Amino acid sequence: MISNSASDYIQREGPLAQAGLLANIGSKGSQASGAAPGIVIASPSTSNPNYLYTWTRDAALVFKVIVDQYGRSPVTRDISLRALIDDYAYAQAKLQEMENPSGNITTGGLGEPKFNIDLTAFTGSWGRPQRDGPALRAITLITYANWLLDNSNSSHANDIWPTIQLDLNYVADNWNKTGFDLWEEISSSSFWTTAAQHRALRQGATLAKILGKEDLLEKYSTHADNTLCFLQSYWNPDSSYITSNTGGGRSGIDANSILASIHTFDPSAGCDAITFQPCSDKALSNLKVYVDSFRNIYGINEGFSDNEAIATGRYPEDVYMGGNPWYLTTFAVAEQLYDSLSVWDSQGLLTITPISLSFFQQFSSDVQAGEYQARTETYKKLTSKIHAFADGFVTTNGRYTPDIGSLAEQYGKDDGKPASARNLTWSYASAITSFLAREGIVPHSWGAEGLQVQTDSEGHCIVNPGPTSDLIFKVAKDTIFGENVYITGSIAQLGNWDPAHAVKLDPENYPYWTVQTDVPASTTFSYKYVVQDQHSGSFTWENDPNHEVTSSSAGQSMVISDTWRD
């Protein structure tokens, strides 16, 4: 299906992807013969490879698309989707209770990755357990429960709570244990799994509170904090990418991280790097490293420049079915970029840090670290080129989509012909979500906004540290036009000595620069002021020694008056 533009391709493929997704859901789906109601088949392919099974992960991701569709459009809502969602919830409750090779409902059976489509256990050898499934299923059902509550149906929300609770309890009890990753090849810790577990526990705590399950609120909240702390460990600061798997002997460059970013997207969190939001500096740096790793290993990517879109796969060392590009991974890159554009447009600015600088310099070689308002030419130039870049990944998939619109799992790395399992349900789901992201349609917030992580004096991670005090910093500093004064220091609220995350002061009473900020109460910390040239992005630090202060007690305020140390 060769299309000259992303819009042309989306117009043709959008309805076909929706139809392809629904065709793979039992019992009425045209490709899902033999599947129980609400059961998602991974693919109707029965040989080389045989994907005629239902995976907990894939089913949750597919039904998250359906739940979001149903909740998004009250005027044009397809009522039949509601029946499908209820069928899914019922089928998943049955699968939870089924004894399988991973155990039973109390001994680890929720970590079983796949089942037969007639609601019986798959007993063959496989990579098990896989601990992402319960988290993803909980996220989907929590999203549905939230819709029910918003529409005055608390009774039904309480009906599906036991299914949600079982999954959340499994996640809370097993988040710090290894398991097979989403590609089912490596048993280790996985960024994708940890990110999903964090979101599930964070959302689960909120729902538990709403439903009056106070006994579970603290449990889920505590483990949500634990997983968020663990999530930080995947970042590779030396190479500026996310090490997606801790085992397997590979580089760790993996689509797992791109998929995690888009499936834990919370537009209210902005470009937060702690939860690796799509437009965060870490997620963008990681995206560049990931995409670039495929530039020289696929024949169909030859001839494209270093800042053009290409086909991407699971990870550069992949050899499965010949090691080809995947539709869903290439769509995922586009979706992360579209999500980023939505947030930048919403907040009216984008920020470039030293971490994300190489990503942005693909589109403007002379751009520097700094903050760029939407009205500036730099912002307009960058966002325009990034949108075109995102469209390029969509049209890349379009170039290798058959005229009938069917989406297999992969396409040949040298000839672009559909490969591996045909009509992959997750491929259709990824097309739908990337197309919606291009329209600027964003999901509901799930609780990522405002989360903070810092390390205490003993090296322990603390999420959302406790009581704060109000400090007003005031410094006298002469500047020239185009310079701004910032403060950074040894606590997370001041950027942990990273000038890219420093706090900007206001020259309201020039030459005095002032800022008011909350910091941990009764805490001793050090800090310095820095000046940034907004044109070059360079920082100039004041001289040693560092300033040091002990903040006031909780709820109290104090004013700190300083003189710039030349």
Q: Which residues are catalytic?
A: 181, 184
List the structure tokens of 525: 């910390």
User: Cβ(163)–Cβ(93) under 8 Å?
Assistant: yes
Is the distance from CB of 67 to CB of 138 less than 8 angstroms?
A: no
Contact 243, 252 (CB under 8 A): yes
Backbone dihedral region for residue 497 (phi beyond 0: left; psi -120 to 50: alpha; all else: beta):
left
**Residue keyed to tokens 């088949």:** 41
Instruction: State the sign of the Cα–Cα–Cα–Cα dihedral 130, 136, 141, 142.
Output: positive
Angle (CA) 311-312-313 rounded to 5° is 135
What whole-number distance in Å separates Cα of residue 107 and Cα of residue 100? 10
Rounded-to-integer distance, Cα 12 and Cα 9, Å: 5
- Whether 327 and 424 have beta carbons less than 8 Å apart is answered as yes
Separation of alpha carbons 295 and 293, rounded Å? 6
- The CA-atom distances, in angstroms, between 13 and each of 80, 188, 403 are 22, 37, 9
How long a stretch of residues is the chain?
566
Identify the burial level of 127 via C-beta atoms within 10 angstroms of its C-beta, where 0-12 means exposed, 13-18 middle and 19 or more buried: middle
User: DSSP letter string over 214-276?
Assistant: HHHHHHHHHHHHHHHHHHGGGEETTTTEE--BSSSSS----HHHHHHHHHT--GGGTT-TTTT
CA 489 – CA 498 distance, rounded (Å): 8
Q: How many CA atoms lie within 13 A of 191 on its CB side?
A: 29
Helix (H) or strand (E) holding 425: helix 425-438
Pairing of strands 557-563, 468-476: parallel
DSSP character for 539?
E
541 known member of a binding site: no
Cβ atoms within 10 A of the Cβ of 482, count?
10
Residues 564, 359: Cα–Cα separation, whole Å: 34
CA angle 548, 554, 557 (to 5 degrees): 65
Q: What is the DSSP letter of 149?
A: H
